[in-house]
Structure 1
């Protein structure tokens, strides 16, 4: 069940408890200024001198010291153990775009769980920021002003098909699936347009492309969870 706790008309930065590079927080907050900590990610936010609008999670990695520094009305405990803290946060926030730091790098199982979270919530326009790459779930259609030669990797988390313009190796007519054909290490020829027939396809792009991605993604129509109509473009982005 989705219950919105925090809403922003601009953008939300989620900070997790994984590896955070020296420029990750400043990049994310410049583009998405409302900061929401995911459980133990509150420690990283406080250590960097940042105030948090909310902390969301089961609090199993939020230290008593950090918890005591955050006003009680900003602490949102979700105790169930059927979802990750990242998923708890995704279903509890609303914004045209969400930037997430502290979810790539570090433990591989945590990274895979984050990819699973993007796939389970295809209606959320969320970009994971890593040291050299960004990862996000592709909407039904998206046009990106990429540089010629940029690596464009497409990884299916479910069976999915689509079409492309501006890729060195087009994906038209291909059946992509996790245990079959994947679309990694493609290259942009310049501007790229991608269309997908359903949810489940993740895009992995160079980190430097984030500002080329954030506006078109925020304005896109997103795939909705199974059994629901696709999510419309937000009124404000």
Structure 2
């Protein structure tokens, strides 16, 4: 058990540190002023000192570590005390850390090149994250940290189960669509397409869940 814990800590530390190591290796070659913000068309609309990258990197690394610890220890801190599969929580935690590290790589690289092709990298990453989470959604038990945490899903296990079965399929299909289709579009169209798909993926399960709740109260 101890060796497993040490291995997990090592893997997470490496995943979180990789973007920072990359930034350290290229920092000296960056100009004093770099792009710090891009609009949805991928155009630069904000600039700042290159030291900003350190602030962003440290902040995102802290968020990544905090999120990992919360998800990994959800069984210990969740008020519902529903025992989730430790393996499931571990996979979700790793997935989120990998996603945030990949996003940080994209941010650093965009500041280096001065371009942000969200349809080529950012949207596919988001799509893959949702597809990956969708693969696990149907296995998540009612809790206050992961999943569609709505008043009626938290109070009704059957509502939770049906809502997450739907969300699982919808997130996998929607995530794959975003990852596969957005690179084939222009930056602007890829962004709009991805936002529409994400909206459907999030809003439709909420409506479905509420309808189940209303039927159960009749």
TM-score by structure 2 length?
0.25
Higher strand proportion (structure 1 or 2): 1
Normalised to the residue count of structure 1, the TM-score between the two structures is 0.24
Q: Which has the larger radius of gyration?
A: 2
